[in-house]
Amino acid sequence: MRYLKTSLLAGIASLAAASPAMAQEGPQSDQGRATTVQPYIEVSQILTAQLEPVSDQLTYTQVAVGVDTTVQGRRSGASVSVRYERNFGWGDDQVDTDTVSGIARGYLEVVPRAVTLQAGALASRSRVDGGGAVSVNPLASEDATNQIYSVYAGPDFQTRAGAVHISGNARVGYNRFEANNAVFDVNGDQVDVFDDSVTYSGQIAAGVRPGEALPVGLAVSAGGFQEDLSNLDQRVRDVYVRGDVTVPVTPALALVGGVGYEDVEVSGRDAVRDVNGDPVFDSNGRLVTDSASPRLVAFEVDGLLWDVGVLWRPSSRTNLEARVGRRYDSTTYYGTFSYQPNPGDSLAIAVYDGISGFGGVVNNSLSRLSTDFSVQRNPFSGDFGGLVSSDEGVGLVGALGSVRSSAFRGRGVNASYTTQLGRINAAIGAGYDRRTFIAAAGGALESADGIRDESYYLTGTLSTDVGRSGAIATTAYANWFTSNSGNGDLTAVGASAAYSRTLAGRLSARAAVALDYFDSEFSDEDFATASALLGLRYDF
């Protein structure tokens, strides 16, 4: 039962995956200390040729500065990749743009083996089409792109009282979506998109592992999640208390089950109305909240929750947990599977189900990212396009989806695989995300209630060294978005290839080509663009 001894509390912690922004990463145990700091500056000349719907060309100069840092110590660790870029258009009708993109995850063991502070931050660009569909690979020259920010911090703690293991965490996060232009659907009506939100979460669990005090494992846990959305003062609140049992069947397999109580509520306020009774939008295209209006309840569940499942851990490299049960007054499925046959290969699969707003999903994806990751950036825009690789798999692939302002129930699955084949490094991520939106009757968002937005996504990278001084990296992505709102579908596909070669010392030359295609039913026309880049990079 050596592998099952850690299963009980791991299973309790995984309950957080069913409630957004409540998953956490435990304290690290890195031995030794390793630090890499790589600042750089890039200057590039870029040509973008629009192939559809009309032929057009855009030439601009790009100047970018950034730093990639990894610190791994005995009691602390962090990875940071941040970049600022400025594009200077050629010609009177060209648009100058500047962008900050980056991602960071870190931890600090405040009390050895007891209290660890976790934190993370994200800044990323996206492209929003009609109806709120999001594409994560905007062109560097586009001025109609949008910025996403997310940050969170909080402590983890663990201790024991005799045979009882006690653990928990607390988190607070902030999320913001900056839309440059109002979003309209196919009927010309404005769509209220997410503005910002604050998330709070916490949980505590106490349990006895199988074989320590009893033949079975027992645990009790309690937790809560709340997201306060600025759009119409919406609030998502989810609290629970439950008990769990773990019954070993073999040294590698156990049956698990739990039962408890949950209290879930989604509510908000109405918008300010004009003399005709129509909701009022502000200059940014968002509904104006009527703070004097009563709180409208959109969803409410108060009662029993339960689930049953299996834990399978035949070795320290393979871990499966799968559960089915009742939550949110309906059937729920969730689970995880991870397999790491060797240090160069890693497979991860996750099935999730939870209620939150857009910010809660982004915060949760960020918090689940490892503190030792690598970023494969788009050679033209500098964005990482939702693909971040780590030893625990590929993260942040499908965290965007739709940016409607309404709270929603999100269900889906994502999978990732990373491998190293000789000198070739490869990563691929794929998944499906379905969001069923929740809005109160009689409120300004009433028409969004029951809308179902679905996203399918696939993205991957290949990179390898070429000779002693060269390197090549390729990236491809495909996103499909569908909605039952009548706004139509969106398809976004693209690929890029970049080559770099050291010229002298820390100076290198760069060349890249890319092709991007957008087929949106929100517009009567499709867009196809080809791009080419030549530039220099200096690593300090």
**What six digits make up the tokens of 435?**
């969001």
Measure the CA–CA gap between 387 and 36, rounded to whole angstroms. 21
**Kind of pairing between the strands at 164-178 and 217-229:** unpaired
Which pLDDT tens digit goes with each residue over 157-204? 999 999 999 999 999 999 999 877 667 665 667 788 899 999 999 999
Residue 27, SS3 per DSSP: coil
Which sequence spans correspond to the domains of the chain?
4-539
- State the DSSP string of 155-196: EEEEEEETTEEEEEEEEEEEEEEE-SS-EE-TTS-EE-B--E
Which pLDDT tens digit goes with each residue over 351-376? 999 999 999 998 888 888 888 777 77
In which residue ranges of the chain is pLDDT below 50?
A: 1-32
From 297, 294, 300, 290, select the one nearest 232 (Cα to Cα). Answer: 290
pLDDT at 365: 84
pTM of the predicted model as reported, rounded to 2 decimal places: 0.86
In order of 29, 72, 163, 190, 516, the CA distances from 107 in angstroms are 11, 10, 27, 42, 37
From 335, 329, 512, 326, select the one nearest 412 (Cα to Cα). Answer: 335
pLDDT at 420: 87
Enter the DSSP assignment of 132.
Answer: G
Residue 414 in contact with residue 395, Cβ under 8 Å?
no
CATH 2.30.30, domain 4-539, yes or no: no
pLDDT at 203: 96
Q: Omega into 251 within 30° of 0, i.e. cis?
A: no
**What six digits make up the tokens of 318?**
């393979």
From 5, 2, 1, 12, select the one nearest 256 (Cα to Cα). Answer: 12
pLDDT at 395: 57
Measure the CA–CA gap between 272 and 287, rounded to whole angstroms. 8
Measure the CA–CA gap between 31 and 47, rounded to whole angstroms. 47
